[in-house]
Structure formats: structure tokens, C-alpha cells
Structure 1
Amino acid sequence: MIPVDIRFLAEVFVTLFVIVDPPGTIPIFMALTGSMTAKQRSRAALVAVGVAVLIISLFAVFGQFILGYMHISLPALQFSGGVLLFFIALQLLLGKESEMSASEGVNVALVPLGTPLLGGPGAIVAMMLFVQQTGGQATRVSAIVLAMLGIAAMMYVFMRFSGVIAKVLGKGGVTLVTRISGVLLAAISTQMIFDAIRAFLESWGILPA
């Protein structure tokens, strides 16, 4: 059995859970798939999770190479991710989840569910930073893999059973969860922006590293 860094696993899982926000996807998922049958909704949830996991995994493995090839620094990606994530948080706080729907003719499981809501800049940057922190340690690499699998399962469960969860929580409960998720997402995005600015200032020698 491959040893796992439990503390690192918990850190990765909690961070991704708050950024991806599976409970917060319930009202968005229901708004985008309201006209679908139960079977179509289940397939849409599976496709959205698959797209998100694929995007996050690709950047986790090849992210540094892609950024290097395009001459994009990690702080730049982190800053842009924070800004985009902040706009999503504002939409959640203002109750404008339906405005994130895709254009007619576009598969909503791909856009905006798969990306940028689930496999968005926030999750991508967070995963790339966690990969940097592994230092090649098998215990931390396995922790990231397990955390990613756990998040994927959580994303699917919350979307697949969004109708049942919404009934249990009630309209007020779903709204409350969405608003809380918006607040947490806004805080995370702001921290990402601050960290990116600090990294820029350190690289320019304005702040000590």
C-alpha cells in the first residue's frame, strides 16, 4: 500500500472543495439542466466532472511546461484566476447563477459546468501550486491523486442528486449554501490575487523573498 501524507491530503481536499464548491453547483446545475430528463442530467453531470478532472490533471502534469512555452508566469495565472473566480463569486452572491449559462447550441456539461465552473482557473492554479509542494515525495503525490478522486466523486454526487439535495435543503437552504459559497469563494479569490501581487513584488525585489 502506497503511504499517504494525511495532512497534505486534507489540505488539498479542503482547498479544492471550497474552490470547486460542489454544493454551490446545485442551483447552477439545476438552472442549466432544468429541461433535461433524469438520464440526461446524470450524463451531463458525468461529462462535466470528466472535463473538469481532465483539465485540472493536464495542468497539474504539464502546467509548468505550458506556462513556460507561452511565457506566462505562475503569479500571472494566479492573478487572472483570482479575478475570474471573484466574478463568479459575485454572481453567486448576487443570485445571478443563471447568467453563467452557455449559449444556445453549446453543451452545458462542457461550458460552463466542466469549465470554468468546475475545472476553472482557481482549481488549476491551486493544483499546480500543490504539485510544486510535493517535492517529488510519493506520499504527497498519492495524497493529491486521492484528493482529486475524492473531489471528483463529490462533484458528481452533488450534481447527480441535485434535485434530492435541493428538496432536503429547501429553496432557502440552497440559497444560503450558495451565498456562503460565494463569500468563501470571494475570500479565496482575493487571497489568490494578494498572493500573486506579493509574488510579483518579490520577483522585482521590492519585497524580500
Structure 2
Amino acid sequence: MFDLKFFGEVFVTLFVIMDPPGTIPLFLSLTSGRTQRVRKRMALQAVLVAFGVIVVFALFGQSILAYLGISLPALQAAGGLLLLLVALELLTGKEDEPTVDKDVNVALVPLGTPLLAGPGAIVATIVFVRRVSELGEVLALAAGIVAVHVVLWLTMRFSVVIIRVIRESGVTLITRISGLLLSAIAVQMVADAVRAFIVQG
């Protein structure tokens, strides 16, 4: 039987971690200068990439990390460093000259991962998988993951409407602010990873 309570727990947890509303300024910043059609395509690509990453780690996450000898703190630190590089580009304005290759890369990295399917979402998914013991919980977990990604897609898909209101000058302002916030998030991720390493040690 479908476990509605477990579904709610999975959905709320992943919603808070992946933060669909918070992706709007970052999405607009990273896709600055693109056409609306390209932004829509990139929104779908990013969500599909994030969904694929989460599904892979839900199915094989524990085995992958164990095989490669990677700890969860190490994964978190790597994600934080990658986000820090992205934040520096946003702050310095290097993202203002998009290319065809970059269009593809932004949808995959950093939008798809680690911004959406980051260490936090991956770790949470692995933890939920460990708790699954019956079919109802499996269905609830799958439904929760799908539901969060649908919300993510809708959020980014309709963020295109926002661009019509704030124009490119507004996106530039949001870009700088997003870069500052993203750098803080990245540093916090690295700090949490270091703290976890110390505790394990």
C-alpha cells in the first residue's frame, strides 16, 4: 500500500534541499543572454540531468561510493568547490559571453548538478533508500522524487516569464547577488564537509 506519510517526508525534505524557488535567480543568472526558447530547453535539460543523477544514486549510490572509496563528506566538499568556481564567474561577469558549448554545459553543470542534484539531495536520497523495506515505501520514494523534479521544472520553466518584467539589466543585478549568495553556500558546504572529516577522524 502506498505510504503517504513517507511520500510527504521525501517530498518535503528534497524540496527544502533542492529549493525550487531559490533556483529562479540562479537559473536566470546562468542563462543570461539566451533566448527564451533556449532557456526553456535548458530548464528541461537541467531537470532531466538532476533526475537522472538522483535516480542513479538511489539505485546504486551506496555501491558506487563504496567501490570508489569516496566518503559522503568528500562528495560534499567536491560539490562545494565546484559551486565556488561558478560563484566566482557570476561575480566577475565572465558568464556574460555565452557560447553554444556553454549552453549545453550550463544545463548539465552546474544547473543539473550540483545546484539541483547536489551532495545534500544525493545524501538524503541514499538515506531514504536505506529506510525502504516494503513496496509501499518504494512507490512513495519514487513518487516523491518525481514530484519534486516536476516542481523544479515548472519553477524554471515559468521563470522565463520573469525575464520579461525585469529585463536583462535586472538579470545582471540578480547575477551579482546570486554569485555572492552562491559563494556563501559553497563555503558552507566545504565547511560542513571539513567538520564531518574531523568528526570521522
Please classify the TM superposition score into its range, dividing by the shorter chain length: 0.7 to 0.9
Query: Counterparts of 1:108 and 1:52 in 2: how far apart (Å)?
Result: 16
Matched with 1:82 is: 80
Q: Does 1:129 align with 2:131?
A: no
Question: 1:41 Cα deviation (Å)?
Answer: 5.4
> Structure 2: which 5+ runs fail to align?
none
**Aligned 8 A contact 1:92 1:181 in 2:** yes
> Structure 1: which 5+ runs fail to align?
205-209
* DSSP 3-state at the match of 2:25: coil
Q: Does 1:180 align with 2:177?
A: yes
Question: 1:85 Cα deviation (Å)?
Answer: 0.6
Question: Quick one: structure 1 residues 40 and 75, their matched pair in 2 at CA, closer, same or farther if it must change by over 3 Å?
Answer: closer
Q: Which moved more, 1:132-141 or 1:20-29?
A: 132-141
Question: 1:71 Cα deviation (Å)?
Answer: 1.5
Question: 1:40 Cα deviation (Å)?
Answer: 5.7
Query: Counterparts of 1:27 and 1:191 in 2: how far apart (Å)?
Result: 21
| 1:120 corresponds to which of 105, 108, 113 | 113
**Aligned 8 A contact 1:18 1:184 in 2:** no
Question: Quick one: structure 1 residues 148 and 45, their matched pair in 2 at CA, closer, same or farther if it must change by over 3 Å?
Answer: closer
Q: Which moved more, 1:195-204 or 1:13-22?
A: 13-22
Question: 1:86 Cα deviation (Å)?
Answer: 1.1
**Aligned 8 A contact 1:82 1:193 in 2:** yes
Aligned length in residues:
191
Alignment of 1:1-209 (within 5 A): 2-4=3-5, 6=8, 9-17=11-19, 21-31=23-33, 33-34=34-35, 42-98=40-96, 101=98, 106=101, 108-109=103-104, 111-113=105-107, 115-122=108-115, 123-134=117-128, 135-136=130-131, 138=137, 141=141, 142-158=143-159, 161=160, 164-204=161-201
The one-letter code sitting in structure 1 at the alignment partner of 2:152 is I
Query: Counterparts of 2:152 and 2:32 in 1: how far apart (Å)?
Result: 20
C-alpha RMSD over aligned residues = 3.1
Query: Counterparts of 2:196 and 2:94 in 1: how far apart (Å)?
Result: 33
Question: 1:168 Cα deviation (Å)?
Answer: 0.4
Question: 1:150 Cα deviation (Å)?
Answer: 1.5
Question: 1:118 Cα deviation (Å)?
Answer: 1.5
**Aligned 8 A contact 2:20 2:151 in 1:** no
The one-letter code sitting in structure 2 at the alignment partner of 1:53 is F
Q: State TM-score, norm by structure 1.
A: 0.73
Question: Quick one: structure 1 residues 187 and 133, their matched pair in 2 at CA, closer, same or farther if it must change by over 3 Å?
Answer: farther
* DSSP 3-state at the match of 1:24: helix
**Aligned 8 A contact 2:62 2:126 in 1:** no
Percent identity, aligned pairs only? 36
* DSSP 3-state at the match of 1:173: helix
